[in-house]
Amino acid sequence: METEVVIIDEQNIDEKALEALKHAGEIIKKGGLVAFPTETVYGLGGDALNPESSKKIYAAKGRPSDNPLIVHVADMESIEKIVKEVPEEAYKLADAVWPGPLTMIMNKSDAVPYETTGGLDTVAIRMPSNKIAAELIRQSGGYIAAPSANLSGRPSPTEAKYCVEDLDGRVEMIIDGGQVGIGLESTIVDLTVEPPMILRPGYVTREMLDDILGGVSIDKTILSADSGVKPKAPGMKYRHYAPKGDLTIVEGDPEKVTEYINKEIEKLRAEGVKTGVIATSETRDLYKADVVKSAGNRDDEEEIARNLFSILRQFDDENVGCMYSEAFNENGIGQAIMNRLLKAAGHKVVRI
């Protein structure tokens, strides 16, 4: 299949851009696939209410079909058709954070095929704030099922070039809307349990959800090392975001961390292994690895979040065999950063 790439400026959706989005909407309505930008990561979109489209999404990603998809909507009214009942909490959360980087799990109605929910009776719903995404949803009939637009097992794409890398020839269209703002996938909160439970950390933090709802719980498997307990979001059990090389997180006193990593690098170099380090602006010059990447300033979690997936992909491009990463603060979006990093590392952590 020939993949068409269209560039659209989110800040200037003019006549030409609208035409392109209309065309993209037609593709989705006819059962085709379009990769598109959201504020979190790029999505791989198809018609959420068409079981054939969902099957195509799984095939294009190479993803196991028991891993449910998120249904993206553009307005609150659309939700009524796809859920049994809109819970009170959903209105509160929508008021506070939608459109935005939050996904809510509710009980699904018959309108949503099991192909989209991976066989579950619940459905994940998100209203993205990215204007290109919102317009595409409207032009597509209102319901876009979209996982992150990467091949299964690779880091989620934060720029269109990474969608091209993974999906060229597998989808009808890729919309290039530039680099995303957040860089990590949405927070997922399950509203079918009491109290609501966070299944995946993201930009919308536990503190924010606590403030809005007056109490939430958190899936224990999120930050723990591989405990053998099955996470509640089926997708969280897979080793996502996996770089091709071997990644280890090193936690502890900053000076000792640098010292430890440099020692390990020396050993690996003697064995002829190409090495990499995920550092911060404060520490990047201290490392002796072949490839050193700064994720950003130590205290700027948002910058680190934006850069993380791209850095993991760059290590792949440079065929780095063994990587070390510093551990990051867990303030704000920091908890989501460490959750993704732990997965990328297959939970390999050295504490010194």
Q: Which residues bind ligand TXA (CB under 6 A)?
A: 38, 40-41, 43, 67-70, 103, 105, 117, 120, 122-124, 126, 146-148, 185-186, 188, 199, 233-236
Q: CB of residue 156 vs ligand TXA: minimum separation in angstroms?
A: 6
Of ligand TXA, Mg ion, none, which one does residue 209 interact with (CB within 5 to 8 Å by kind)? none
DSSP 133: H
Between 129 and 248, whose beta carbon lies closer to ligand TXA? Answer: 129
3-state DSSP call for residue 159?
Answer: coil
Between 148 and 275, whose beta carbon lies closer to Mg ion? Answer: 148
Between 21 and 188, whose beta carbon lies closer to Mg ion? Answer: 188
Of Mg ion, ligand TXA, none, which one does residue 140 interact with (CB within 5 to 8 Å by kind)? none
Q: CB of residue 332 vs Mg ion: minimum separation in angstroms?
A: 21
The CA-based dihedral angle spanning residues 86, 92, 95, 101, taken in that order and rounded to the nearest 10 degrees: -80
Q: CB of residue 259 vs ligand TXA: minimum separation in angstroms?
A: 37
Is 39 within 8 Å of 128 (Cβ atoms)? yes
Q: CB of residue 109 vs ligand TXA: minimum separation in angstroms?
A: 13
How far is residue 134 CA from its own chain's centroid? Answer: 18
- Per DSSP (E only), the strands in the chain are 4-7, 34-36, 43-47, 70-72, 102-107, 122-126, 144-145, 173-176, 187-190, 197-200, 217-218, 246-251, 275-279, 291-294, 322-326, 349-351
Between 258 and 339, whose beta carbon lies closer to ligand TXA? Answer: 339
Sheet holding 34-36, edge to edge: 4-7, 173-176, 34-36, 43-47, 144-145, 70-72, 122-126, 102-107, 187-190, 197-200, 217-218
Strand partners, 107: 122
Instruction: Please compute Rg for the chain using Cα positions.
Output: 20
Between 146 and 257, whose beta carbon lies closer to Mg ion? Answer: 146
- How far apart, in Å, are the Cα atoms of 163 and each of 60, 68, 159, 315, 325? 12, 20, 7, 17, 25
Q: CB of residue 106 vs ligand TXA: minimum separation in angstroms?
A: 9
3-state DSSP call for residue 72?
Answer: strand
Between 6 and 149, whose beta carbon lies closer to Mg ion? Answer: 149
Of Mg ion, ligand TXA, none, which one does residue 199 interact with (CB within 5 to 8 Å by kind)? ligand TXA
Between 221 and 283, whose beta carbon lies closer to ligand TXA? Answer: 221
Return residues touching Mg ion (CB under 5 A): 148
Q: CB of residue 179 vs ligand TXA: minimum separation in angstroms?
A: 15
Tell me which residue has its CB nearest to Mg ion. 148
Q: CB of residue 51 vs ligand TXA: minimum separation in angstroms?
A: 15
Place of tokens 């065999």: 321
Of ligand TXA, Mg ion, none, which one does residue 201 interact with (CB within 5 to 8 Å by kind)? none
